[in-house]
């Protein structure tokens, strides 16, 4: 920075040297392993042994490729530190840039409006000049319930914001604050506010339960007119004109203590069943345009509706990097990790996503910067308009990132223009979604957008303070977790096999290591191929007395041991290094196997089906509703199945096959007493059984509602019999 106290610094992680050395050794091991497969292949005489060796070869090639992509995150990890306490020494508070905050919600029944307004309130209460903040809510659910909740939030904000400011509260999400032990200091006032909050919450929940805003809750003619828009004949969430409401005009409205308030704008973009709306990316682009004509702040923060702010100083941390764009003109965005509240102790579904949200971004931070993960990201508005040196102009001057807004946000002309910009077919014949704004073409618009921005030359920074900047909800049932992963899998493959594939395009624009980092995600779903093969082939071969791995006494066996233990140990080491625990790592590797057998596999299949024109996929919003009984089981660490789903069949079948082959394998071992021959397969079957423990429990031992339905159990037993019987006939 030159002058003044430092705002940020970084250091290389000490593990870098070890990581690089280990990578070299491991590459040699992989080469040897592949050589061994070819050797075996050349000695194979029967069709069966050729087929088995080939499938192992393919599996190991895929695992090797994925290992290489994982390793790219380990080559130059850096840790950053920011000094927000120094910010006001170099930048006057009145010179802080304005910020437009985008919150997306899509379904009042899966994303309860009370939670959405909690997120909004936590962000409105940022420790930042309120007149510089504008919060825009995108309601893709097109629901009066959400709008009603926000109208209520406006009144509550007038008490909540000054309360947080005057008492220097850290938890500025009301729900989090009132349910924590911390609200001791401002006792009396806090109790009063809590009562007001509770009554608002009841009102909002009541309205959601009824499914409509009852007439007593409508305060005046203006509100009645607004709600009537949702009740015109033909109005549906997927078919309606744009609705834009300025709920707080910061220039006029004051809080209870007479201070200014942030702007709050509700936007439900226009939709038409015949016009593609591009899901969240489409919603964000509408917000980009609407906010451009209303406030056009140079900084844009995107937030999922469940990701509330957990630290009021977060925007100042971001400012430490972007307060002076001329210092690093290519810096495009600052990504904070997604962190979650309410994870159970050992994180049975791997909901922490330690690698995705922490370890990998740290790795990319030392290169061109982390990928964008959809929430908790401060962008410079300029990034949505072409690369750092080649600006792409929008169709009207009002949308340019350097356009200065002069009219007040409630002026009629501006509101009219905003509605026009939110029309469902506004984007026809424009560059939105392709060269401008968030990019279309993938269900993981975040990954795809970040990737394209970085290809254009934008850099990014990972900001990972020890107090989480944002906290969100995790799926607490297996079906939710795997459905989410399946959506991601499809979206990632859409990028992986597009003309922008990271392997080629990414490497060309960002270098091979960055290309590999992005390829890592794009090809996540192909992990399902080796996982499926290793979950069935060694076990079924064992059942039929076919031994497919080197004997324990054979030196090649050591190679297998090294490759397996090496990968697992380094994986575990990463987990511990980034502050997680051994048990969480263990559950994470189990969920990795589950994903390979279920969402990655189905994602791959659906992606192919889509390409053959058989099916098409939408964005299935993850439910954020917490069923009490389900939450209880989650807290106890029980895996929640509960419903019958084809997604569970491969894993249930694999667990039965493993168990069966382990038992038969042990019997074989006792009868022929040649452990060294079958040890490899026995180990894999045993490893499968160990990992399947929660599945057996849920099939047989449990009686609660989260157990595996009998239908699933029977279907998977039938499948297992078919598979083993079929193999018996063939082999
Ligand atoms: O048509 C849609 C669909 C979704 N959303 C919003 O998108 C956000 C993310 O949806 P969610 O169901 O929570 O998906 P997750 O899989 O949990 O989200 C992750 O993955 C998404 C991409 O698949 C990213 O957009 C998210 O930022 C990232 O947190 C939510 O706020 C939704 O309201 C919309 O606004 N419009
Ligand atoms: Mn989410």
The pTM of this model reads: 0.96
111 among the known binding-site residues?
A: yes
Query: What is the average per-residue pLDDT within 326-336?
Result: 93
Q: How far is the CA of 306 from the centre of ligand 2 (A)?
A: 7
Active site residue 574: no
CA distance 356 to 485: 12
Closest ligand relative to 488 C-alpha: 1
Kindly tell me if the per-residue pLDDT of 634 is higher than 70: yes
Ligand 1 mean position, distance from CA 280 (Å): 6
How far does the centroid of ligand 2 lie from the alpha carbon of residue 474, in Å? 7
> Closest ligand to 621 CA?
1
Instruction: Tell me: is residue 201 an annotated ligand-binding position.
Output: no
Ligand 1: nearest atom to the Cα of 103: 31
Which candidate, 210, 2, 260, places its Cα nearest to that of 108? 210
Given ligand 1 and candidates 375, 489, 621, which is best to mutate, with the most ligand atoms within 8 Å of its CB? 621
- Of 289 and 615, the structure prediction assigns the larger pLDDT to 289
Q: Which ligand is located closest to the Cα atom of residue 305?
A: 1
Q: Which-ligand-closest: CA of 238?
A: 1
Nearest CA to ligand 1 atom 5: 280
Q: Among all ligands shown, which has an atom nearest to the Cα of 473? A: 2
For the CA of 302, the nearest atom of ligand 1? 27
Phi, psi of 127 (to 5 degrees): -80, 80
Inter-CA distances, 7 with 98, 314, 710, Å: 19, 14, 59
Nearest alpha carbon, ligand 1 atom 22: 444
Of 559, 544, 490, 482, the residue nearest 728 (C-alpha)? 544
- Around ligand 1, the residues with Cβ closer than 6 Å are 104-106, 111, 138, 140, 279-280, 283, 304-305, 338, 374-375, 443-446, 484, 487-488, 491, 619, 621-622
State the pLDDT confidence band at 729, using cuts at 50, 70 and 90.
confident
Question: What is the mean pLDDT of the segment spanning 697-711?
Answer: 95
- Yes or no: say if 124 and 91 are a contact pair by the CB < 8 Å rule: no
Nearest CA to ligand 1 atom 34: 280
Is pLDDT at 662 greater than 80 in this prediction?
A: yes
Give distance in angstroms: CA of 99 to centre of ligand 2: 23
Return the ligand 1 atom nearest residue 338 CA: 29
* Residues present in the chain in total: 731
Per annotation, catalytic residue among 306, 311, 446, 574: 446
Atom of ligand 1 nearest to the CA of 447: 22
Per-residue pLDDT, averaged over 135-150, amounts to: 97
Work out the average pLDDT over 123-137. 98
Q: Is the pLDDT of residue 354 over 90?
A: yes
Band (183; pLDDT cuts 50, 70, 90): low
CA 435 / ligand 1 centre spacing (Å):
22
The band of 540, judged by pLDDT with boundaries at 50, 70 and 90, is: very high
How far away, in angstroms, is 619 Cα from ligand 1 center?
Answer: 8
Q: What residue's CA is closest to ligand 1, atom 31?
A: 304
Cα pseudo-dihedral 428, 432, 438, 443, rounded to 10:
30
For residues 358-374, average pLDDT: 97
pLDDT at 185 over 70: no
Digit-coded pLDDT (tens) for 39-56: 999 999 899 999 999 999
Is the pLDDT score of 144 beyond 90? yes
Phi and psi dihedrals of 198, rounded to 5? -60, -40
- pLDDT value of residue 422: 97
> What is the per-residue DSSP string for 388-424?
TTEE---SSGGGSTTPPP-S-TT-HHHHHHHHHHTST
Q: Which helix (H) or strand (E) holds 301?
A: strand 299-304
Ligand 1 atom closest to the CA of 277, numbered from 1: 1
Rg (C-alpha) for the chain, rounded Å, is: 27
Nearest atom in ligand 1 to the alpha carbon of residue 621 is 12
**CA separation for the pair 315, 470 (Å, rounded):** 11
| Dist. CA 731–CA 728, nearest whole Å | 5
Atom 17 in ligand 1: which residue has the minimum CA distance? 622
Please report which ligand is nearest the Cα atom of 338. 1
The verdict on whether residue 95 carries a ligand-binding annotation is: no
CA–CA separation, 114 vs 205, rounded Å? 7
Distance 107 CA to ligand 1 centre (A): 11
pLDDT at 280 over 80: yes
pLDDT for the residue 412: 95
Instruction: Establish whether 446 is a catalytic residue.
Output: yes
The DSSP string of 557-624 is HHHHHHHHHHHHHHHHHHHHHTT--HHHHHHHHHHHHHHHHTHHHHHHHHHHHHHTTS------PPP-
User: For 91-109, what is the mean pLDDT?
Assistant: 96
If one residue of 104, 339, 373, 618 were mutated to test the ligand 1 pocket, choosing by the most ligand atoms within 8 A of its CB, it would be: 104
- How far apart are the CA of 27 and the centre of ligand 2, in A? 37
Atom of ligand 1 nearest to the CA of 624: 13
Q: Which of 114-118, 182-186, 568-572 comes out lowest in average pLDDT?
A: 182-186
Q: Residue 137 is inside which H or E element, if any?
A: strand 133-139
- Which candidate in 60, 100, 107, 140 is catalytic? 140
Q: In this structure, which residue's CA is closest to atom 28 in ligand 1?
A: 374
Q: How many CB atoms lie within 10 A of CB 429?
A: 8
Six-digit token pair at 152?
A: 């209520």
What are the backbone angles phi and psi of residue 110, rounded to the nearest 5°?
-95, -25
Name the token pair of 60: 């190991």
Complex ipTM value: 0.99
Which residue's CA is the nearest one to ligand 1's atom 16? Answer: 484
Q: Per the structure block, which two tokens stand in for 469?
A: 């900047």
Reduced to 3 states (helix: H, G, I; strand: E, B; else coil), residue 270 is coil
Are 693 and 684 in contact, with CB atoms under 8 Å apart? no
- The answer to whether residues 486 and 647 touch, using CB atoms and an 8 Å cutoff, is yes
- Atom 24 of ligand 1: nearest residue by CA position: 374
Q: What pLDDT is stored for residue 618 in this prediction? A: 84
Per-residue pLDDT tens digits for 415-439:
999 999 999 999 999 999 999 999 9
Q: Any known ligand binding at 254?
A: no
Kindly give the number of the ligand 1 atom that is closest to the alpha carbon of 488: 23
- Mean pLDDT estimate for the chain: 95
User: What is the Å distance from ligand 2's center to 303 Cα?
Assistant: 10
> What φ, ψ does residue 640 adopt, rounded to 5°?
-100, 110
Atom of ligand 1 nearest to the CA of 305: 31
Q: Please compute the mean of the pLDDT values over residues 105-109 and round it to a whole number.
A: 97
- Tokens read off for 280: 């969240």
**Residue 692: which of 720, 711, 669 has the closest Cα?**
720
81 forms beta bridges with 9
Residue 3: pLDDT band (50, 70, 90) is low
Residue nearest to atom 29 of ligand 1 (CA): 374
C-alpha to C-alpha distance for 719 and 656, rounded to whole angstroms: 10
Ligand 1 geometric centre to CA of 622 (Å): 7
Instruction: Ligand 1 pocket test: pick from 106, 442, 483 the residue with the most ligand atoms within 8 Å of its Cβ.
Output: 106
Q: Give the residue, out of 374, 375, 422, 482, with the most ligand 1 atoms within 8 A of its beta carbon, to mutate for a pocket test.
A: 374
Would you say residue 1 has pLDDT above 60? no
Helix (H, G, I), strand (E, B) or coil at 217: helix
Q: How far is the CA of 604 from the centre of ligand 2 (A)?
A: 22
Tens of pLDDT, residue by residue over 489-533, are: 999 999 999 999 999 999 999 999 999 999 999 999 999 999 999
Residue closest by Cα to atom 36 of ligand 1: 280
Ligand 1 atom 19 nearest Cα: 374
The Cα 420–Cα 521 span in angstroms is 37
The average pLDDT across 217-232 equals 92
Is 110 among the annotated ligand-binding positions?
yes
Query: What three-state secondary structure class fits 145?
Result: helix
């Amino acid at each position: 920075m030159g002058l003044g106290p430092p705002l940020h610094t970084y250091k290389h992680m000490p593990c870098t040297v070890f990581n690089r050395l280990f990578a070299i050794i491991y590459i040699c091991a992989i080469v040897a392993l592949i050589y061994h497969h070819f050797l075996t292949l050349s000695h194979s005489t029967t069709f069966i042994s050729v087929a088995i060796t080939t499938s192992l070869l393919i599996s190991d090639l895929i695992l090797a490729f994925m290992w290489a992509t994982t390793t790219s995150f380990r080559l130059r990890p850096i840790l950053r530190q920011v000094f927000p306490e120094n910010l006001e020494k170099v930048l006057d508070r009145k010179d802080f840039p304005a910020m437009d905050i985008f919150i997306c919600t899509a379904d009042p029944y899966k994303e309860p409006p009370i939670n959405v307004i909690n997120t909004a309130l936590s962000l409105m209460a940022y420790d930042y000049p309120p007149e510089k903040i504008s919060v825009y809510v995108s309601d893709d659910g097109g629901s009066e319930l959400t709008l009603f909740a926000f109208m209520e939030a406006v009144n509550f904000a007038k008490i909540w914001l000054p309360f947080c400011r005057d008492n220097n509260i850290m938890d500025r999400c009301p729900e989090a604050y009132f349910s924590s032990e911390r609200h001791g200091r401002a006792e009396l006032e806090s109790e009063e506010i809590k009562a007001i909050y509770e009554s608002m919450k009841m009102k909002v929940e009541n309205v959601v339960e009824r499914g409509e805003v009852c007439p007593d809750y409508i305060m005046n003619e203006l509100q009645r007119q607004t709600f009537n828009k949702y009740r015109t004949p033909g109005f549906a969430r997927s078919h309606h004109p744009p609705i834009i409401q300025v709920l707080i005009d910061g220039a006029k409205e004051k809080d209870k203590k007479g201070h200014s308030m942030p702007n709050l704008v509700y936007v439900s973009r226009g939709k038409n069943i015949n016009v593609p709306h591009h899901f969240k990316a489409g919603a964000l682009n509408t917000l980009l345009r609407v906010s451009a004509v209303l406030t056009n702040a140079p900084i844009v923060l995107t937030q999922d509706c469940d990701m509330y702010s957990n630290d009021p100083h977060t925007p100042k941390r971001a400012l430490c990097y972007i307060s002076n764009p001329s210092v690093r003109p290519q810096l495009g965005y600052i990504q904070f990790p997604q962190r979650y509240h309410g994870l159970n102790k050992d994180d049975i579904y791997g909901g922490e996503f330690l690698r995705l949200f922490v370890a990998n971004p740290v790795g990319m931070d030392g290169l061109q910067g982390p990928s964008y993960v959809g929430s908790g990201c401060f962008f410079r508005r300029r990034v949505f308009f072409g690369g750092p040196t080649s600006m792409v102009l929008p169709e009207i001057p009002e949308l340019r990132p350097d356009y200065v807004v002069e009219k007040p946000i409630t002026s009629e002309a501006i509101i009219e223009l905003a509605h026009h910009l939110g029309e469902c077919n506004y984007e026809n014949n424009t560059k939105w979604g392709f060269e401008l704004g968030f990019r279309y073409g993938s269900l993981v618009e975040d990954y795809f957008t970040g990737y394209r921005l970085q290809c254009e030359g934008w850099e990014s920074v990972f900001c990972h303070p020890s107090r989480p900047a944002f906290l969100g909800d995790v799926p607490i049932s297996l079906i939710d977790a795997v459905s989410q992963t399946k959506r991601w899998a499809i979206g990632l493959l859409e990028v992986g096999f597009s003309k922008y594939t990271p392997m080629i395009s990414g490497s060309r624009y960002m270098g091979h290591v960055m290309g590999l980092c992005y390829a890592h995600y794009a090809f996540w779903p192909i992990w399902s191929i080796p996982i499926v093969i290793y979950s069935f082939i060694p076990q079924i071969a064992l059942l039929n007395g076919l031994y497919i791995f080197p004997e324990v006494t054979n030196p090649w066996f050591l190679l297998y041991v090294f490759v397996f233990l090496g990968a697992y140990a380094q994986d575990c080491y990463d987990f511990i290094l980034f502050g997680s625990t051994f048990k969480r790592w263990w559950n994470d590797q189990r969920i990795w196997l589950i994903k390979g057998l279920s969402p990655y596999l189905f994602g791959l299949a659906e992606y192919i089906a889509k390409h053959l024109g058989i099916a098409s996929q939408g964005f299935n919003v993850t439910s954020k509703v917490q069923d009490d009984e389900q939450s209880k089981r989650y807290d106890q660490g029980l895996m929640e199945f509960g419903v019958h789903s084809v997604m569970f069949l491969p894993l249930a079948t694999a667990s039965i096959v493993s168990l069966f082959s382990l038992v038969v394998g042990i019997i074989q071992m006792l009868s022929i007493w040649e452990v060294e021959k079958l040890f490899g397969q026995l180990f894999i079957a045993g490893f499968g059984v160990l990992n399947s423990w929660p599945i057996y429990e849920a099939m047989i031992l449990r009686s609660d509602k989260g157990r595996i339905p009998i239908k699933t159990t029977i279907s998977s037993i039938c499948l297992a019999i078919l598979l083993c019987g079929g193999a018996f006939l063939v082999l």
